[in-house]
Structure 1
Amino acid sequence: MWFERDRRGVHSMGLDARGQRRYFAAETIAALEELPPSELDALHDVLAELEADVLVDYDPEDEAIDHTEEDRYRMVLPPTSLAFPAVTDDFAAAFTAHVESVDRRWRLDASALAFELVGTVLAPHLAEERARRSATWRLTARRRRGSRRLRRR
């Protein structure tokens, strides 16, 4: 996490699915993958709120920020010591407790990692749902077009 020199933002390193897995135990990922999509979606919402709450703690306009020091953290991956402990249930409470226990410097990164991991696990379910809705819409549109043709004749 670092503050921008223009005093307009706080940034965190985004990680792809492979990078996210470095910070979570295999048991945690397997347990998340077993959750139904509705629970994953609810957890994703809770983690979005957690990340927003963490962001409120940072003031990019704070005059005490040493931007020379901040440059050391620009585009730097969070340390692996930030890794989450193995969790197999009550993810929201466990992830929140871990994020709050992390050094303030890495708190935004920790909350973003949890949010992104759940989003990565949830993504295939969302893609399936989108495809199902799209197929339903196309089928409905065909039926409507077909019924109009019959009426016109």
Structure 2
Amino acid sequence: MWFERDRLGVHTLGLSRREQQRYITRQTVAALEQLSQGELDDLHEALRDVEVALLVDLDPEDDGIDHDEEDRFRMVAPPRSMAFPTTTADSAAAFATAFAAHVASVPQRWRLDAAAIVFEVVGRVLLPHSVREHARRRSTWALTARRRRGSRRSRRR
């Protein structure tokens, strides 16, 4: 995480799926995949709230920010030492509690990165559910549109 010199934002380095595996174990991802779509949605929202709470505390306009020091962290991956422990829980609430506790235990410099990593991993696990839901809604909308279009034609005649 670093502050930009233009005082417009706080940034984290986005990580690919492969890079995320350095911080989240495969067992944790497998346990996440066992959750239902509703539980994954709830967990994703809870992790978003953790990330938002961290962002509220960071003020990019603070005059006490040493931008030369911040430049050392620009585009730097978080240290491997902040990797999440293997978490296998049976509910979204248990996962949220474990993830939030780990984020709080990480040094302040890397908390936002830790929250972003776990948020992205849960989003990646949730993605297939979202794609299926989007396809279902799209097909329902297309069917409804065809019905409406057909009924208009019959009314015009």
**Distance between the aligned counterparts of 1:66 and 1:87, measured in 2?**
36
Deviation, 1:113, is 0.6
1:82 aligned partner: 82
Q: Aligned match of 1:121 in 122, 125, 130? A: 125
- Between 1:106-115 and 1:140-149, the stretch displaced more is 140-149
Deviation, 1:80, is 1.3
Structure 1: stretches of 5+ with no match in the other structure: none
Deviation, 1:3, is 0.8
Q: After superposition, what is the alpha-carbon deviation per residue over 1:41-93, rounded to whole angstroms, capped at 9, x for unaligned?
A: 01000000000111122222222221111111001111111110011111100
**Distance between the aligned counterparts of 2:152 and 2:55, measured in 1?**
54
Structure 2: stretches of 5+ with no match in the other structure: none
- Does residue 152 of structure 2 align to residue 143 of structure 1? no
Deviation, 1:122, is 0.7
**Distance between the aligned counterparts of 2:128 and 2:40, measured in 1?**
12
Match of 1:129, as an amino acid? E
Kindly, what percent of the aligned residue pairs are identical?
A: 63
Deviation, 1:5, is 0.9
**SS of aligned partner of 1:8:** coil
1:16 aligned partner: 16
**Distance between the aligned counterparts of 2:51 and 2:115, measured in 1?**
5
**SS of aligned partner of 1:129:** helix
**SS of aligned partner of 2:6:** coil
**Distance between the aligned counterparts of 1:95 and 1:66, measured in 2?**
30
**SS of aligned partner of 1:6:** coil
Match of 2:88, as an amino acid? T
1:22-37 residue pairs with structure 2 within 5 A?
Answer: 22-37=22-37
1:79-118 residue pairs with structure 2 within 5 A?
Answer: 79-89=79-89, 90-118=94-122
Q: After superposition, what is the alpha-carbon deviation per residue over 1:100-130, rounded to whole angstroms, capped at 9, x for unaligned?
A: 0000000000011111111111111111100
- Between 1:143-152 and 1:71-80, the stretch displaced more is 143-152
Superposition TM-score, scaled by structure 2 size: 0.92
